[in-house]
Structure 1
Amino acid sequence: MKILNLALLIGYLSFFIASTAAEEVKLNDSLSLHYQQAGSGDTTIIFIPGWMMSTEVFEHQLAHFKDSHKYRALAYDPRGQGKSSKPVEGHTYQQHARDLALLIEKLELENIILAGWSYGVTEQLAYLNQFGSNNIKAMIMIDTGPDIAGASRDEWVWYLNDDSDGYSRWFTEGIIEDRDTVISEFVKWMLENPTAENVAWISNIANQTSSSVAAITNATGFYLDYSKDLIALEGKIPMLYVVRDEVKEVADKWIKANTPSATTAYMGKHMMFWERPDEFNAVIDQFLKDMETK
């Protein structure tokens, strides 16, 4: 019986490893990126994690595509995050985009759907800004718009230009001065169900990124506005926005005014793709199905 159980365990682990492969690609002498991929097909959906996050948060999406022969799902850890290299320099989203371009080149990826979450949206738009859309088949933006800071909360932004609410400062100076509190409160805010177990798991991911890297990426992200780049795609390629419920009004206003042909879905809180995987993955599946029929 013990031998049979061991054989079953080995078989299960072999299947899991084969269906969701964790790998590393060396971009240059100082930088290697950790990534996981699942499924196969001519189209690759690249999931890009947000601030201090890693490939791990997309576990439900990788599992969802593991048996697909149409789509390959790939998620990676940006430099300084997760299991990727931790170089001293290069912690801007413009550089992250150049890293993404090298990743695409090294892995010889074509027919790409970029799917960024949070600051991962900024990263994919920085890629669009620098490398164009020739290799992009579609864009999926998860809970972030193209502009990071604005004049008021009536705009779809994270921060205020004058930082009168101290929100930007809290994520730059705060992450250095009081790291544990910032991470804990940020993680709780992201979740609909902030149980001790969930908070601990996501906090552990955040703790793989140093405070200085977190502060720099947040501070430099503050100045970025890729609205023109995103608006220029209107009517040219399929776009999907999946946005948390609490900002539906401002997000919907911007989307309808600037990219009206885009598909939209509103659900949950900031980590809806992890907390509501069935609902989120169904939206992705429908978006892909609609692309195939056009």
Structure 2
Amino acid sequence: MECPLDNTAAAAYTNYLRNPKGQRDFIAAYATGVMVQRELKEEELIWIVEQSLKTPYYIAANLFCSGLFSDYRVEAADSSESLPTLFVVDENWAGVATTSLRKLAHKASVELLGRHLMFWEYSEKFNGMV
């Protein structure tokens, strides 16, 4: 079986996120390849997968697509003008995200930390930022 992370978003949706087994395979690959910086212990991976599977595959697929196709640039710009705004960005996206956010929401603070599950992997540091 090919790795879900080697596909386009459309292939991930079509091939993995439209059935329970595919959802499980995608989450396991995503958790180990994208979500955390360190190597997960087996029990941590099981926990992450089981937590993720509490969302039925057909809802997870719609959330995945919603995240891909949503555009909140106006809200991001507006929020930085009207209230204190903090973006905590995955270190892998540091260059692109920091440059974009500085232009778009120039009054916002931008911090870099970990990967997708930064709030879990680095909870004390994350909570300190927030």
Answering whether residue 52 of structure 2 is matched by residue 192 of structure 1, we say no
- Quote the Cα distance in structure 2 between the aligned partners of 1:266 and 1:221: 20
How many pairs does the alignment contain?
120
Cα 1:240–1:254 change in 2 (3 A) is same
Cα drift, residue 209 of structure 1: 1.3
- Quote the Cα distance in structure 2 between the aligned partners of 1:229 and 1:235: 10
- Quote the Cα distance in structure 1 between the aligned partners of 2:74 and 2:91: 25
State the superposition RMSD in angstroms: 1.7
- Quote the Cα distance in structure 1 between the aligned partners of 2:126 and 2:67: 26
String of CA shifts for 1:17-66, please: whole Å, max 9, x gaps: xxxxxxxxxxxxxxxxxxxxxxxxxxxxxxxxxxxxxxxxxxxxxxxxxx
Residue type of the alignment partner of 2:41: T
Pick aligned residue for 1:266 from 107, 112, 116: 112
Superposition TM-score, scaled by structure 2 size: 0.82
Pick aligned residue for 1:181 from 12, 16, 25: 25
Cα drift, residue 166 of structure 1: 1.4
> Higher strand proportion, which one?
1
Partner of 2:94: 248
Is 1:172–1:216's contact at 8 Å kept on the other side of the alignment?
Answer: no
Partner of 1:208: 54
Pick aligned residue for 1:278 from 117, 124, 128: 124
Aligned pairs for 1:122-161 (under 5 A) are: none
- Quote the Cα distance in structure 2 between the aligned partners of 1:248 and 1:259: 15
Residue type of the alignment partner of 1:226: Y
String of CA shifts for 1:86-111, please: whole Å, max 9, x gaps: xxxxxxxxxxxxxxxxxxxxxxxxxx
Cα 1:166–1:256 change in 2 (3 A) is same
String of CA shifts for 1:208-247, please: whole Å, max 9, x gaps: 1111111122224433212112212332111001111111
Is 1:190–1:270's contact at 8 Å kept on the other side of the alignment?
Answer: yes
> Higher helix proportion, which one?
2
- Quote the Cα distance in structure 1 between the aligned partners of 2:63 and 2:14: 9
Aligned pairs for 1:110-129 (under 5 A) are: none
Cα drift, residue 274 of structure 1: 0.8
- Quote the Cα distance in structure 2 between the aligned partners of 1:245 and 1:221: 19
Tell which structure's C-alpha radius of gyration is larger. 1
Cα drift, residue 261 of structure 1: 1.1
Pick aligned residue for 1:226 from 72, 78, 87: 72
Where structure 1 has 5 or more consecutive residues not aligned to the other structure, the ranges are 1-164, 285-294
Is 1:244–1:269's contact at 8 Å kept on the other side of the alignment?
Answer: yes
Aligned pairs for 1:15-30 (under 5 A) are: none
Residue type of the alignment partner of 2:37: E
Is 1:242–1:264's contact at 8 Å kept on the other side of the alignment?
Answer: yes
Per chain length, whose mean CA-contact separation is higher, i.e. which structure has more relative contact order (CA < 8 Å, sep 6+)?
A: 2
Partner of 1:235: 81
Cα drift, residue 172 of structure 1: 4.8
